[in-house]
Amino acid sequence: MSFDARSRERLEALGRQLPKKLPLPTPPAVPAGDAAPAGRAAERRHRVETEQDPERLFHELMDVSPDGTVPSHLLDRLRQLETPRNAAAAASAAQMAADSGSPQAPPGRRSPDRRPLKPRPTAGDPRQDLYTAFQQLLLEDED
């Protein structure tokens, strides 16, 4: 393909202009009242992502989800928050039992693969009712 002299000069001029660097974008101005950008990022996150109390997180999950479906990563987060709390409650219950002097069940002939029974929740416990309703919704989705 051949170019006339004028077209060729124009292409060469454009070729010299192309390799210029783009100007750097100006950073957004931070108002004096704001702390750090990391603090602003935390403000943008939803309560479901920032809540540390398992009970409140559960209630937030129920409020956010109209049909009871919750992503698995949020359920895992709820379980992680509940685990240390359950361990602390069990340790404090064991400490109270030891302090009261009540004899505990002797370590009888129980096979190592059997797990101890979970204590039954009290009837009418609103937390347990919420967990039960939530579990039923999850089971209905699986069917």
Q: Which amino acid is at 128?
A: Q
pLDDT band at 133 (very low <50, low <70, confident <90, very high): confident
Tell me the pLDDT tens digit for each residue of 35-50.
555 555 556 788 888 8
Domain range list for the chain: 45-97
Pairwise CA distance, residues 49 & 73, whole Å: 10
Pairwise CA distance, residues 17 & 140, whole Å: 64
Tell me the pLDDT tens digit for each residue of 83-96.
877 777 777 777 77
From first CA to last CA, the distance across the chain in angstroms is 68
Say if residues 141 and 75 touch (Cβ distance below 8 Å): no
Residue with tokens 């989800």: 65
pTM: 0.36
Cβ contacts of residue 73 below 8 Å, gap of 6+? none
